[in-house]
Chain A
């Protein structure tokens, strides 16, 4: 077992006099010192605007920004950094795609899973598309064989891993079906990029969206991968930094990725993503995955063997999040009591109300893990759950 807590300053904080057990990583993860230092050093010694200046600091900042883009592109398996756009987050990435594809989507359909985060539902509705869902079994596993493709479906948008259940969806099988029918696929990787190997070329998707803040980088920075075949779609936003020539009659645009990055981007945020990737790679991605798998399996096992507790979802492949409820105890009460024991979990619908409907509940308690969590954290959670139960007995 590895223990990386010392790399994360905030994790030594005491909450209500107790050691912090942070299990809300699907909402956001904490930052290692190396990422915090990178951001701080950047502002202290290198900061300037990018791509515009001829001066020294501008060149350094531009290099660092573009270097971060290269790191992201390698990290998700594309050899071409121009396929990576920096956005404000997963939600922004998906909204930008929805806006760019609006003319195709309007009046047509987007096929999603029934476990999507609202950010992979609402943008399509705003673009004027109807939502169709892939059928699921009782344990919320997608029934890929039951997918019915029609001419109306213009996009498949699917989460790689569920932010509620932790189930990993068979995205490769889905992209194969999509390819046979010439339908583009967007993968929402917000809950997988920090846990699973990602290779967009192997997956065969056209778009992939992820957030920096869930993968140990800063908030307000996101990633959007766009495959070459969509490299000429219209940008969702216009402004400085993305144009080739502007006249009062018409405008021509730069090539990707700059075409999709109007205005001054989140430069420090992008650089922090590069630093977070360095941090993970220095530890070793395989090592992280093995460790996370052990902690996740331990949590699942302990929760499943607890009487009077329902765990939602069951998939061969799971990571990150586990959702549960204690019999006859409201998820909100459970979360409040755990909080006062220093244990941070998330409660509620987790921005996945349609899934809550399928699960037959208003909300769940969600424990979600990151590379710094340990089996001891899981055991503290279980002690907390026992305490909650005692308080209700």
Chain B
């Protein structure tokens, strides 16, 4: 099912050259609130990413909140988009969500487990957390 948050992202990336797409991701990365230093540790890190990525999750008012951060700006830009799409939803909605925007903005190849950015690992971890919450 399509949702307006993802559709909005797709519109923003529509027709952009690769370097402009990266430029946009970098500008998103700058808007992302950094994760508190105490969560930027091994315990909260997601393995399989060439740049370190940290995840902190908690529930608030029945919603699962996923906070992510990375030391690389392009990864951080992608993370910003992921957070925009998955947050403000119930855990069940996160389990069920089809993250179609990734393919449509041209980042499909980044989903391969062999890719160094570890986007596949990040998404897997988000789903695991959500599934745990549902069960």
Contacts and interface: CB of A to CB of B under 8 A. Distances in A.
B73 interface: yes
B95 interface: no
A341 B19 CA distance: 8
A387 interface: yes
A90 interface: no
A81 B75 CA distance: 51
B26 A332 contact: no
Given A348-B116, A392-B26, A392-B73, A332 B50 contact: yes
B73 A340 contact: no
B19 A340 contact: yes
Contact of A332 (B18, B19, B23, B116): B116
A381 to B, nearest CB: 16
Given A16-B18, A387-B19, A336 B74 contact: yes
B22 A337 contact: yes
Contacts of B116: 332, 347-348
A329 B22 CA distance: 14
Interface in A270-320: none
B19 A347 contact: no
Interface in A358-393: 362-363, 387, 391-392
B6 to A, nearest CB: 22
Interface in B35-56: 50-52
A336 B118 CA distance: 13
Contacts, number: 43
Contact of A362 (B18, B19, B52, B74): B52
B23 A363 contact: no
A130 interface: no
Given A332-B51, A348-B116, A392-B26, A337 B71 contact: no
B24 to A, nearest CB: 11
A202 interface: no
B5 interface: no
A68 B121 CA distance: 44
Given A16-B18, A332-B116, A348-B116, 18 more contacts: A330-B51, A330-B71, A330-B72, A332-B51, A332-B74, A332-B117, A333-B73, A333-B74, A336-B22, A336-B74, A336-B117, A340-B18, A340-B19, A347-B116, A362-B52, A362-B71, A363-B50, A391-B26
The 6 closest A-B pairs by CB, nearest first: A330-B72, A340-B18, A332-B72, A332-B51, A332-B50, A333-B72
